[in-house]
Amino acid sequence: MLDFTSSLYLGLRHASSSLRPWAQLTTGVPAALTTPPLARTVASSLAALVGTERATLSRSTLHAFWDLFLILGERDTAIYMDAGTYPILRWGIERAACRGVPVRTFRHHHPGDLSRQLVHDARRRLRPLVVADGFCTGCGRLAPIRHYLAQAREFWGTVVLDDTQALGVLGHSPTAATPYGSGGGGSLRANGLSCSSIVLVNSLAKGFGVPMAMVAGSAEHVRRFESVSMTMVHSSPPSFADLHAAEQALHENRFSGDALRSRLVMLIRRFRRGLREAGIRLGNSLFPVQSLMLDEGCARILHRSLESMGIRAVLHRPVCRNGTTVSFIITASHTPTEIDRAVAATAYAINSNSSMPRLRRSCG
């Protein structure tokens, strides 16, 4: 089965034989009491990569968001959430809402709607936490972070980004030839931003292939998180296996990351060119998640047809768009031959199935 469901975008897998050995998986000591020296080194390297003063590590984004909005969401705070926000981030917001923090939702990537709500609520003198994903895979766009930041700062607020998708893929100084930019530092680097009013929460599980997370921002924000976080009191830090994998991922990103990103862009362009030549349209995004926006029936038929031909793709409903899509997640570990096989199978499924007469013109 040819797999296009893995989000290991750079193809980093970290076999145990490729990592430095470790004497034990965990100390058994809560993260609040003991931070392994390697964890501090990895966190410092991640902060430098994404462009923040400081970072700390967490077992997952769920652990981080479970605490973060209660830590930032004091009595004088309100949360303004982009409607396209990823579910795990929403779960942390829901916990804050249960504790009485006001929550508003504004239209996806719509600074005007955010501004309208902030102005409307200004008389309540609440500091805003503006929350969004740094990059949306559903519509293939970076969030308008500069606008969100300017609007939040006007009311002495903070922007919180889940930048999991962009980490390891997007970086600084993008050009037409290198659309991902360089370095893989994520959305802040892609936007040329470095600001103490932004807090990042990133999983390393996608771009870097490591099942752990980080919280990054100003030194003040990170110190506060570490001093108040209850998940750090009641959970261990990331395992030594995770830390060694993160160490290796950062090393590989430093010395071969841009080459992997160039290969990834080449494969995606090959995929898009093949579908375009077959008369199948896609959106404008060159991100590794390549989606066809279809009606419910067409998407399910196409997904089943691909599976019958040995192609695994993702059938899902993006948060930010109406309708079901079939997505191909392309990674740097795919080969040109595999890309061509996926294109040929998709074109055959569409052209040979009379149940999909509207598929070509309904593709996003």
pLDDT digits (tens, 9 = 90+) for 175-210: 999 999 999 999 999 999 988 899 999 999 999 999
Which tokens is 60 given? 């997952």
Last residue of a domain, one of 253, 281, 310: 253
Residue 357 pLDDT greater than 70, yes or no: no
Measuring CA to CA, which residue among 88, 67, 356 is closest to residue 229?
A: 67
More confident residue, 323 or 81: 81
User: C-alpha distances in angstroms, 324 versus 28, 37, 55, 69, 216?
Assistant: 44, 46, 37, 31, 34
Mean pLDDT calculated for residue range 143-160: 96
Last residue of a domain, one of 232, 253, 274: 253
Same domain, residue pair 161 and 247: yes
Does the residue 2 lie in any domain?
no
Domain that holds residue 48: 30-253
pLDDT tens across 91-107, in order?
A: 999 999 999 999 999 99
Q: What percent of the chain has pLDDT over 90?
A: 84
pLDDT band at residue 75, thresholds of 50, 70 and 90? confident
pLDDT at 361 (0 to 100): 42
Contact in structure between 298 and 356 (CB atoms under 8 Å): yes
CATH at 331: 3.90.1150.10
pLDDT at 148 (0 to 100): 97
Contact in structure between 344 and 277 (CB atoms under 8 Å): no
Same domain, residue pair 218 and 274: no
pLDDT band at residue 353, thresholds of 50, 70 and 90? confident
Does the residue 14 lie in any domain?
no
Whole-structure pTM value = 0.94
Last residue of a domain, one of 253, 269, 298: 253
Same domain, residue pair 122 and 202: yes
Same domain, residue pair 185 and 240: yes
Does the residue 19 lie in any domain?
no
Same domain, residue pair 242 and 270: no
pLDDT at 363 (0 to 100): 42
Does the residue 25 lie in any domain?
no
- Nearest 5°: the CA angle 319, 323, 327 is 75
Where does residue 24 rank: exposed (0-12), middle (13-18), buried (19+ CB within 10 A)?
A: exposed
Measuring CA to CA, which residue among 17, 31, 10 is closest to residue 239?
A: 31
